[in-house]
A and B are shown apart, each in its own frame.
Chain A
């Protein structure tokens, strides 16, 4: 009896305490609101929303959108609140992600039963291997050739820009801005389809390479210039005071430090160069994407296209991830 009364009293106390404890919170951050809201939205999702298939009509679409964002908002309220327990946060973030995929699964209108047959059908890759090999080889060759030439030209232009000669400055500014403003694909189409009218006939490979080189050398010139100019003058003067010659200063002091500034944007640029080789699809260069498209038409199944996308992903994702890590590290280094 005593125990019961005690516990009853303490329960009352508990509610009192609860009230006092959460008194300072605005209504939308209190458990009394959040937990019911959380559960209500979930129940509504499961019971009231239309079942599979594309939502028909604006009302359904709107309803689905509102439900998702309502849920998202409640979850954000929980996640942003410092005082909510970690367990609740974890549950709500998992539910948000789960709900997102669930909605996509239900309402994208995709026929999921055909999904595997259409998109991940290994049997459709039979005989396509050779096409892929050619495509990969062309993509690789195009990337390496244009990256190397673009880097040489970019470095020279970057050094020329850092010289601060007004005549060179104007000319380089026009060159660099022109090719940074010109869409790569337009540039490539002009080189491949328009220049032959004048009697300049470049094959698909060199048309693609030329367009890539022109654009990327312009971007890289800026990167190299910024790298060289990022080294403070006092570093150069300290080196000069030790009796070093200009070339030694460049080699021993400026470039080793500039590399750290140059490397992240340069590797970003190289990644996007590799990605941009896919643009050569429009001038029928048999690179990876073109070959995949051929395979799709041949097999009447989109699996080869999906696979080629995954090849790009598998090659570039590690680089992108690595660059991001490097960027963070170098920022830390610069901050000191």
Chain B
């Protein structure tokens, strides 16, 4: 017994105190006990309580990193420790966020609200359910997305090709100016300016056209950068060798540059498209009946947050897999 303790001491003698089992095991046990028995149950905390909470979180993160970076700890311990820490953070949120969890079902997942009809009781709307309204809104969002996706892609392709291939100083200056300006303007500001300010000067656009125009202008600027860097990443050597084989500039572009560029451009392009779909939600500020706008109206009419949650879920169903796919694409390109 004593021998084995001595042996253990010898084995772990070189470790700093915070990486020894003598510290880690009691730490985990005492902390778990503290959380279960000593800390207050579901409630709000005062300022001091929240400070303590932050301190606890910081300590946990440090110990977590210390355990995870330790080469000599077995993997099962690392996994259990990580799982425990996540669990405890979840517990913290459950207990001390001050939410009335019993009402989540009623306010956030109330399908009854969604099944009701007669929202605002105007004309046709009297017989449509709120589900249908939400799906119509989804379709509007998709329409805006598709229109501005196609238009901005065309615009950006044109500008990027002019920038890289034509490479005329004056044109470059104006293209760069366009790109920088529309990357610096918040999309909401642009929407508001086009929709509420341009009519003062006699330019009247429908909400839908405003949405498509604003999103196209902004997205075109970002995509122009994406395409430009995609083409430039290939440009020089490859084009030179293609030209040396007797290809014309256009053929070199079509046969050599574009196929390679597409691979480079695809991950950031997917990311931009995800961003564009997200940005259609901002069209709600100019009264387009897209997802967010409809959800908010329903929410305030029924005093229930379910439509908002459904709206958020609609975005998630589309965008979560896409985000994942974009990440994987990006990784694959980097590892290739």
**Chain A interface (Cβ within 8 Å of chain B)?**
76, 79-80, 89-90, 93-94, 96-97, 108-112, 114-115, 118-119, 156, 159-160, 163, 165-168, 171, 177-178, 180-187, 189-190, 193-195, 197-200, 222, 246, 271, 275-279, 281-282, 289, 293, 296, 301-302, 305-306, 308-309, 312-313, 316-317, 320-321, 324
Contacts and interface: CB of A to CB of B under 8 A. Distances in A.
B83 interface: yes
Q: Is the interface of B mostly helix, strand, loop or mixed?
A: helix
A180 B86 CA distance: 20
Q: Which 10 A-B pairs have the closest CB atoms?
A: A302-B197, A278-B186, A194-B305, A181-B319, A183-B278, A316-B184, A111-B202, A197-B107, A167-B82, A183-B281
A139 to B, nearest CB: 10
B196 interface: yes
A292 to B, nearest CB: 8
Given A89-B168, A296-B197, A181 B186 contact: no
A203 to B, nearest CB: 14
Interface in B155-209: 162, 165-166, 168-171, 174, 180-181, 183-190, 192-193, 196-198, 200-203
B292 A171 contact: no
Nearest to A201: B98
B299 A194 contact: yes
Contacts, number: 203
A80 B249 contact: yes
A246 B274 CA distance: 38
A156 B64 CA distance: 11
B193 A178 contact: no
B197 A199 contact: no
Given A79-B168, A190-B309, A275-B184, A309 B193 contact: yes
Contacts of B79: 165-167
A194 B108 contact: yes
A185 B284 contact: yes
Nearest to A246: B69
A186 B69 CA distance: 37
Interface stretch (B45-53, B123-131, B321-329): B321-329
A79 B166 CA distance: 6
Interface of B: 61, 64-65, 68-69, 78-79, 82-83, 86, 97-101, 103-104, 107-108, 162, 165-166, 168-171, 174, 180-181, 183-190, 192-193, 196-198, 200-203, 249, 274, 278-279, 281-282, 284-285, 291-292, 296, 299-300, 304-305, 308-309, 311-312, 315-316, 319-320, 322-324, 327
Contacts of B65: 159-160, 163
Contacts of A296: 196-197
Given A160-B65, A185-B281, A200 B97 contact: yes
A307 B315 CA distance: 33
A282 B283 CA distance: 11
Given A159-B65, A198-B107, A309-B189, A189 B200 contact: no
B83 A186 contact: no
B305 A193 contact: yes
A293 B99 CA distance: 34
B99 A198 contact: yes
Contact of B305 (A110, A112, A197, A301): A197
Contacts of A181: 274, 278, 315-316, 319-320, 322-323
Contacts of B188: 278-279, 281-282, 289
A110 B203 contact: yes
Contacts of B320: 177-178, 181
Contacts of A89: 168
13 contacts: A76-B162, A94-B170, A167-B82, A178-B316, A182-B312, A185-B281, A186-B291, A187-B312, A190-B309, A198-B101, A199-B98, A277-B186, A302-B196
A317 B166 contact: no
A279 B292 CA distance: 13
B85 to A, nearest CB: 9
